[in-house]
Amino acid sequence: MSETTSGTRVFALTELDPGTAKKVVLDGIAIAVVRDSGGQVHAIGDTCTHGDISLSEGFVEEDSIECWAHGSAFGLADGKPRTLPAYEPVPVFAVEVIDGDIYVDPSTRLAV
């Protein structure tokens, strides 16, 4: 991983298919890098606020990701839970695609 003013390069965009997620750990923070069904890339906290489960192992549906264990879904843009049992949001981080590479800035929280 390399660093720029846009954050840390995590991997190439081609390594993340639409409708999938990958976990990365930056500065000790577990982050789910998600490509929604429309191809937009998002970076959210990887840990479900209900059950301490990795969200990157869950299901990406349109503009949300659902925890595989208990079914809580979180909005990719704002981190807010859309379904119970979770009621606390997950953080959302700055993410950019530059020249085909994905960069995440764990120090820039956009929500929570």
CB atoms within 10 A of CB 6: 17
How many residues make up the chain in this entry?
112
Per-residue pLDDT tens digits for 54-105: 999 999 999 999 999 999 999 999 999 999 999 999 999 999 999 999 999 9
Q: What is the pLDDT of residue 4?
A: 56
Separation of alpha carbons 15 and 56, rounded Å: 14
Looking at the 3D structure of the chain, how many domains does it have?
A: 1
Q: What is the pTM of this model?
A: 0.92
**CATH code at position 50:** 2.102.10.10
- Which range marks the domain in which residue 85 is found? 3-111
